[in-house]
A and B are shown apart, each in its own frame.
Chain A
Amino acid sequence: MILALKDVIHGVRAFSTTATILGRNYRHVVNRQLKKKVEYKVGDLKPRNLRIPAEAPKYPPYPYGESRIFKRSNRGLFGGQFIVFGNKVSEHKNRARRTWLPNVVKKKLWSESLNKLVPLKLTARVLRTITKEGGLDNYLTKDKRARIKELGPFGWRLRYDVLKAQERAKKASVKNYEVLSDADGNEIKVFFKGTYNGEPVSLVVGRRKLLQKLYPVVKLHTPGNLRFAAFNNRRKSAPFEELLKELEHYKVDLSDVVVK
């Protein structure tokens, strides 16, 4: 029965009638009403009220949506803390309404991945958590469900930035060339070893510069105005062998970009 009421009574553990002590509820985060997400496909009839934005959104949407109350929490790391309302009760039991605000501080914290100081408004509790986690990046990139709940829209966007930066750094760390020495003993970067005009060659340039050599000749032999974007789109993941074959077909002089 308790399992059946799991979604109804928040903060109630299964096989227990007492509220959770250790876990936080994130009541204001979890109970937000979200607009139903509609998936559109190419060729769908455009709804009349659908506005197409000028640019694609830069960040993924926060799964719990924005807070309608205490909107400050949408613009900082508040750790799921919100304004609390209550009474000030005097000695004579007179009740006067009052509020409690989270202890919000302004800080600039260093992000290792973004390589810069990030100005933040965050609660003292979150600052303590960040210290424990060992840095802002660790705090933002942790995958626990509770962490996602307490990040809020601002933290979610920061998390995206950090993860993207980490992804970029990782991609940059993987080299797509090997450093060899040529006949004179100089160090050269070899991106690919293949055959050109029946002779074994080593490419000392990457895909970008190779395509820049290929583009003018392909454009010359293509009817209409071939844009570089369209040209590049087809060849951006083509293997080097195919590119060399195409260069061979158009008899492009590669003497300055290959080493035999």
Chain B
Amino acid sequence: MANDITRMLERLPKHFRDLLISRIDQSQIPALRTNGKVVLEEQRYTRPEQWKVLEGDRVMFAKGPNKGKFGKVLGLHPSSNTIYTDIAETKPLVIPKQLWQDGQNGYLIDFPKTVSPDDVKVVATLVKEDGTEYDIVAEEVIFKGKYFDEDYKKMMPIRRVKYHEHIIIPWPRPDPAEDCAFSTPPEVAEERTHSENSILKFEQPADFTIESLRDPVMKRPYKWDKQVLKKGDITKLTAPGMPYSETQKAMFEERKQIRESQITEMSAEVMEFIGSRVAEHLNNVTDPNFKHYVEKVSGQYRERKLARREQEKQFRDLQIKEAEKRNRRAKRANAS
């Protein structure tokens, strides 16, 4: 059964899940039926510890019609957590022509039944001191320790016979994987082409800048990027203002008229009138101190003061020049 269906099934309650699986099976042709042997994806075996046997292992059947017989594991069937063996029960199965294998020339085939790995026991070959080989069947196996397997290219658990942990049952050798045209040889893949000289210095050039590691032609803006408000956003955020009523408009008009009717600059006539009145008053002042004060604050006082100072300065300069001339003449008279 397809993975997406099992993923969907996982979310359902068990009773409903079983019902649904049986219904799905009924709608399928016999060749594609699961016969209720669907294992949910999270319960499927993925590690060798779970399988206990791998492809190529020799096993003894402990249950079923083949009980007591020895066989070989031909493959694993992960979707049902079962294994294919070389001596297995078969069941006739009608295969539609679209699914025929190479060399098949009839609709009916004998399809081998799978066996649970719990129903078989691993057979190990041991060697006596005198060199003769003998087989043992492990009642139970346990896994202790790990090693890196060159053929599997990964860490594998060490399989031991339970209660006889010194007896190690080695994993069968897998079929060597064939390299295709696009495969990279391990020497090339493992070759170290770059090594940092210093952890303090960055080797990238100083002018190297990158704004973002994200795709620049991404369809939508990245959620956490800083965004600025555009004109359209502001339009959508601002509500219209309440229009002014007739009363308010009239009030604004009235205020405008008041503002316009107010005098901000003095006309020449008014200025003349005020000036004449002030001058008349000042001319009639008799107190000498007040007269002096008025003179002092009047605009012409400062000009007159400056003119007087200028005159005094010119007079002083003239005196200095005459004194210099006199000194020069006296010097010449002394020299001659």
Residues in chain A within 8 A of chain B (CB atoms): 40-46, 52-61, 141-143, 156, 159-160, 163-164, 166-167
**When the two chains form their complex, are residues B243 and A163 in contact, meaning their CB atoms are under 8 A apart?**
yes
B231-271 with Cβ < 8 A to chain A:
231, 233-248
**When the two chains form their complex, are residues B228 and A44 in contact, meaning their CB atoms are under 8 A apart?**
yes
**When the two chains form their complex, are residues A52 and B237 in contact, meaning their CB atoms are under 8 A apart?**
yes
The reply on B197 being an interface residue by CB < 8 A is no
**When the two chains form their complex, are residues B242 and A56 in contact, meaning their CB atoms are under 8 A apart?**
no
**When the two chains form their complex, are residues B226 and A41 in contact, meaning their CB atoms are under 8 A apart?**
no
The reply on B229 being an interface residue by CB < 8 A is yes
Contact partner, A57, options B240, B242, B247, B248, Cβ 8 Å: B240
Q: Nearest CB to that of B243 among chain A residues?
A: A163
**Distance to closest chain B CB from A143 (angstroms):** 5
- The 4 A-B pairs with the shortest beta carbon distances in the complex, nearest first, are A57-B239, A163-B243, A46-B227, A141-B245
Assess A52 versus B247: contact at CB under 8 Å? Given A42-B230, A46-B228, A163-B242: no
State the main secondary structure of chain A at its contact with B.
Answer: loop
Give the CA-CA distance A156 to B243 in the complex, in Å: 11
**Distance to closest chain A CB from B122 (angstroms):** 60
Give the CA-CA distance A58 to B248 in the complex, in Å: 22
Contact partner, B234, options A40, A142, A159, A167, Cβ 8 Å: A40
**When the two chains form their complex, are residues A46 and B233 in contact, meaning their CB atoms are under 8 A apart?**
yes
**When the two chains form their complex, are residues A53 and B246 in contact, meaning their CB atoms are under 8 A apart?**
no
Q: Nearest CB to that of B244 among chain A residues?
A: A163
Contact partner, B236, options A44, A53, A143, Cβ 8 Å: A53
* Cβ–Cβ < 8 Å partners of B228 in chain A: 43-46
**When the two chains form their complex, are residues B229 and A46 in contact, meaning their CB atoms are under 8 A apart?**
yes
- Chain B interfacial residues counted at CB < 8 A: 22
Contact partner, A42, options B229, B236, B241, B247, Cβ 8 Å: B229
Q: Nearest CB to that of A148 among chain B residues?
A: B242
Assess A159 versus B236: contact at CB under 8 Å? Given A44-B228, A143-B247, A143-B248: no
Give the CA-CA distance A135 to B287 in the complex, in Å: 75
Contact partner, B240, options A40, A43, A54, A60, Cβ 8 Å: A60
* Cβ–Cβ < 8 Å partners of B226 in chain A: 45-46
**When the two chains form their complex, are residues A160 and B242 in contact, meaning their CB atoms are under 8 A apart?**
yes
**Distance to closest chain A CB from B91 (angstroms):** 62
**Distance to closest chain B CB from A65 (angstroms):** 13
Assess A43 versus B239: contact at CB under 8 Å? Given A143-B245, A163-B245: no
Would you give 20 A-B contacts (Cβ < 8 Å), ordered by A?
A40-B234, A41-B234, A42-B231, A43-B228, A45-B227, A45-B229, A46-B227, A52-B233, A56-B235, A59-B239, A59-B240, A60-B240, A143-B247, A143-B248, A160-B242, A160-B243, A163-B242, A163-B243, A164-B243, A167-B243
Give the CA-CA distance A53 to B233 in the complex, in Å: 8
* Cβ–Cβ < 8 Å partners of B241 in chain A: 60
* Cβ–Cβ < 8 Å partners of A42 in chain B: 229-231, 234
* Cβ–Cβ < 8 Å partners of A43 in chain B: 228-229
* Cβ–Cβ < 8 Å partners of B245 in chain A: 141-143, 163
Give the CA-CA distance A41 to B230 in the complex, in Å: 8
**When the two chains form their complex, are residues A60 and B239 in contact, meaning their CB atoms are under 8 A apart?**
yes
* Cβ–Cβ < 8 Å partners of B243 in chain A: 160, 163-164, 166-167
Give the CA-CA distance A59 to B241 in the complex, in Å: 8
* Cβ–Cβ < 8 Å partners of B229 in chain A: 40-46
Give the CA-CA distance A143 to B236 in the complex, in Å: 28
**Distance to closest chain A CB from B313 (angstroms):** 62
**Distance to closest chain A CB from B219 (angstroms):** 19
Q: Nearest CB to that of A163 among chain B residues?
A: B243
Contact partner, A141, options B234, B236, B237, B246, Cβ 8 Å: B246
* Cβ–Cβ < 8 Å partners of A143 in chain B: 245, 247-248
**When the two chains form their complex, are residues A55 and B231 in contact, meaning their CB atoms are under 8 A apart?**
no
**Distance to closest chain A CB from B151 (angstroms):** 54
Assess A60 versus B242: contact at CB under 8 Å? Given A40-B229, A46-B228: yes
Give the CA-CA distance A60 to B242 in the complex, in Å: 6
* Cβ–Cβ < 8 Å partners of A164 in chain B: 243
Contact partner, B239, options A45, A52, A61, A163, Cβ 8 Å: A61
* Cβ–Cβ < 8 Å partners of B227 in chain A: 45-46
Give the CA-CA distance A180 to B111 in the complex, in Å: 102
Q: Nearest CB to that of A160 among chain B residues?
A: B242
Give the CA-CA distance A142 to B234 in the complex, in Å: 31
* Cβ–Cβ < 8 Å partners of A61 in chain B: 239
Give the CA-CA distance A254 to B56 in the complex, in Å: 95
Give the CA-CA distance A31 to B172 in the complex, in Å: 84
**Distance to closest chain A CB from B97 (angstroms):** 56
* Cβ–Cβ < 8 Å partners of A163 in chain B: 242-245
Give the CA-CA distance A243 to B74 in the complex, in Å: 90
Q: Nearest CB to that of A156 among chain B residues?
A: B242
Give the CA-CA distance A42 to B242 in the complex, in Å: 23
Assess A159 versus B233: contact at CB under 8 Å? Given A143-B247, A143-B248: no
**Distance to closest chain B CB from A49 (angstroms):** 12
Q: Nearest CB to that of B241 among chain A residues?
A: A60
Assess A54 versus B239: contact at CB under 8 Å? Given A42-B231, A43-B228: no
Give the CA-CA distance A52 to B226 in the complex, in Å: 15
**Distance to closest chain B CB from A153 (angstroms):** 13
**Distance to closest chain B CB from A34 (angstroms):** 14
* Cβ–Cβ < 8 Å partners of B240 in chain A: 56-60, 160
Contact partner, A55, options B236, B244, B247, B248, Cβ 8 Å: B236
